[in-house]
A = this chain, B = another copy of it.
Amino acid sequence: MSPASPPEPSLLSLNTATVRMQWNMDEIIEGCARHGIRGISPWRDQVAKAGLIATAQRIREHGLVVTGYCRGGMFPALDATGRRAARDDNRRAVDEALALGARCLVLVVGGLPKDGAGRPASKDLAGARAMVRDGVAELLEYARPAGMPLAIEPLHPMYAADRACINTLGQANDVCDEVAPEDDGALGVVIDVYHVWWDPHLAREIARAGAHKRLLAHHICDWLVPTEDVLNDRGMMGDGVIDVPGIRAMVEEAGFRGFTEVEIFSANNWWKRDPDEVLATCKVRHRECS
């Protein structure tokens, strides 16, 4: 599939993880403004460091659109106390997303329940998935009346144990069907090309998400060959093997008209570069390779 038209430069957004090693929150906001990047998607730890209210104000001053807030989730826990702690923390994340005026709260749903030292303490993947479904349903009761859409991000299967046990868009759609059959946009999905590009049912599941008004966010980067690190070796669009324009065509065909967000974790390359160069490259590659 090819996109109907080139990417719209005014709909580029920067996920703040992309330059997190070089810049603090204020510098990232100013960087976006300086480079004419109109969307931003901040991470909680970076916002906490800069202050929530101050960050919200800076973002407003510069007229940036908060295309998503990263992140809530991590629902599975060994016991009720752990699940309650996750619930409370997720409610705070909703509150923060509201304060920032975010378009959605991104949910990285969590993997297997962990012990006190953060190690997986169960092999019951089906059980973890049930906890995720229940956790999303419960958080939705809080987020829907508050007006904050929740966006489930299916993560690549290589993160099933430790980060997210929702590993395909089909699974995310199933959870939406089950806990939010209303199709009112209160619960949806993130399409991050890094996580879903390999999926043989990708086109079908993107169309399904679109038909139910669930396309809340679209993240781009690239898959490098070889990949040197499971977590922090993502590539810039055009440097890897993902057909990024092909996936854009799918989400646009399915009705998505929102921002496209660049999110790159790259310990040995982009996190080591001059952040102004990174932002300039994001703009060029968004235009030419997405």
Which residues of A are at the interface with B, using a C-beta cutoff of 8 A? 112, 119-120, 123-125, 129, 156-158, 160-162, 165, 167-168, 170-171, 197-200, 223, 225-228, 230, 240-243, 246
Contact = CB atoms under 8 A, between A and B. Distances in A.
Given A120-B225, A225-B119, A225-B162, A198 B243 contact: no
Mostly, the A contact residues are loop
A207 to B, nearest CB: 15
A157 B198 contact: yes
A171 B158 contact: no
A243 B124 contact: yes
B123 A241 contact: yes
A137 to B, nearest CB: 18
Contact of A158 (B156, B162, B240): B156
A225 B113 CA distance: 13
A223 B171 contact: no
A55 to B, nearest CB: 31
Contact of A241 (B112, B156, B168): B112
A161 B223 contact: yes
